[in-house]
Amino acid sequence: MDVCVVGAGPAGIVAAKVLLQNGFDVTVFDKNARVGGIWAPGGNYDGLSNQASLRLFEFSDLPSGLHYGSAVDSQRYLERYAATFGVLRRVRFETEVTTVRAVDSAERLGAGGWVVGFRPAGSTATQQETFDHVVVASGAHHHPHVPDLPGRDAFPGTVLHSNDVRAGVFDGRRVVVVGGGKSALDLVLRAARVGSSATLVQRKVNWMVPQRLLLGTVGYKWILMTRLGEALLPHYDNEACVRVLDRMSERVKRVLWQVVARDMLISSGLHRLPKDLRPAHPLPHHLAHAGVMPRGYARAVRRGLVSARLGTVTAFTGTGVRLATDEELPADVVVLATGHRRVFPFLDPRVRTHDDAGRVRLFRGIVAPGADRLAFSGFRQIFNNILGVELTAHWIAAHFRGSLRVAPDEDAVDARLAWQERVLPGSGGYDLGPYDIHSADELMHDMGLPSRRAGNPFAEHLLPGGVARRYTGLRTP
């Protein structure tokens, strides 16, 4: 059977690799000239780097050696992976998918396969091919969310979404960055280095994970990415993935989170900033929005290299932007690091991928109930998403072969969305945040594979478990 994979980013290439190993005939379409998605040249803002320490940004069967790797090095690794496992020759580069629609003669949506429309670069004509299956791996960071602020026509400067920031745009200019995530902090630090001024405006201060915890002595993965670390989180909503350690007293969990929160403030340097520039919400409920803090951010704020403001931008003016407090900030460049929309503009509109509130509505974050032979990869976000998309690829292969122990269920999707809204507010049905190991356990359980991946209880519970190398040689029944 043949499969079309839409996108050649990390999710797309590992899906293609696993499906090839499972006997499928795979074709990958990507509008870029290189594999890598956001890591490919021009795929995201200048200066992007990954937030993964050693052994995290790599698939199970090809070490990367990357430690907070640059976009260039990350893309090179992904290209080497695609070449090593025969994926590269399956990719049709510079070819944009324009439509994916179900074969209309089928009784069930997608049961007869999918017609994929695509347009090669430089061509005005759309071509079509029919595939038995489709994997949508088009990426969650390609469709910018841009707030509609009044006064844009009056502002004579440059307005960019973070995706569109390129080298040189900040040089010698006054820069205002709007947002509070990792991309916002990355960009305001770059502006502080090369611009004439750098201001960050954020509605709330998100928790950010320092590269090292325990007063800056131990890498974060040794604390947060272990079974013991994840046991401090609220119970995962799939009871098959809740272990004895997860059932520790809620009072004990609260005390330990207070200790972790204090250590994160000290290790990141945020404890030395004014109170309004520290997170106001208790851990762990906002960890879904946490990235790894760029080194030097707190120091730059303390030294006045970055002016950080807590507030909301309400309008552009003739000289910059206006805040809800009526304060005006002068700017030559305004960067909107305001996130992305998880949308699929090419997809058959009969496929229900979102609920009425706009949240991604997929079973296990992978399949839309009611749509056969169609799967999504990269939309079940966890902190170590390289691990997430590799296990998703195996799950998809088993799903297409009909060997999973579960079937897509509308009620299960509704229950997961309700749980996410309670435990991971604002995750949009897409982000499972810090539940790396629980998320992996769930997919392993669905595939009928053992979720215990270490040889002894010490390693299983106290060593980093949210890493792909624990799943080397994975084969589904």
Token pair recorded at residue 287: 């960890």
User: What are 87-118's pLDDT values in tens digits?
Assistant: 999 999 999 999 999 998 778 899 999 999 99
Cβ 29 vs Cβ 16: under 8 Å? no
Cβ 472 vs Cβ 60: under 8 Å? yes
pLDDT higher than 90, residue 355: yes
Token pair recorded at residue 327: 């304060």
Please report the pLDDT score of residue 222 as a whole number. Answer: 95
pLDDT higher than 80, residue 360: yes
Fold assignment, 152-336: FAD/NAD(P)-binding domain (3.50.50)
Q: Name the 3-class secondary structure at 192.
A: helix
Cβ 202 vs Cβ 310: under 8 Å? yes
Integer Cα distance of 150 and 247 in angstroms: 50
pLDDT higher than 80, residue 288: no
Domain 2-143+341-471: give its CATH code. 3.50.50.60
Q: How many residues does the chain have?
A: 477
H-run or E-run covering 386:
helix 385-401
Cβ 294 vs Cβ 182: under 8 Å? yes
pLDDT higher than 90, residue 476: no
pLDDT higher than 90, residue 286: no
- Range name among 13-22, 138-147, 396-405 with the lowest pLDDT average: 138-147
365-371-373 Cα angle (round to 5): 90
Domain 152-336 in the same topology as domain 2-143+341-471 = yes
Q: Between 222 and 288, where is the model more confident?
A: 222
* Partners of 334 in beta bridges: 159, 176
Token pair recorded at residue 282: 């208790």
**Global confidence as pTM:** 0.96
Q: Stretch 5-34: mean pLDDT, rounded?
A: 97
pLDDT higher than 90, residue 188: yes
* Cα 268 → chain centroid: 22
The one-letter amino acid at 147: P
Cβ 316 vs Cβ 155: under 8 Å? yes
Please report the pLDDT score of residue 244 as a whole number. Answer: 93
Cβ 268 vs Cβ 213: under 8 Å? no
Integer Cα distance of 314 and 434 in angstroms: 32
Please report the pLDDT score of residue 196 as a whole number. Answer: 98
Q: Residue ranges per domain, the chain?
A: 2-143+341-471, 152-336
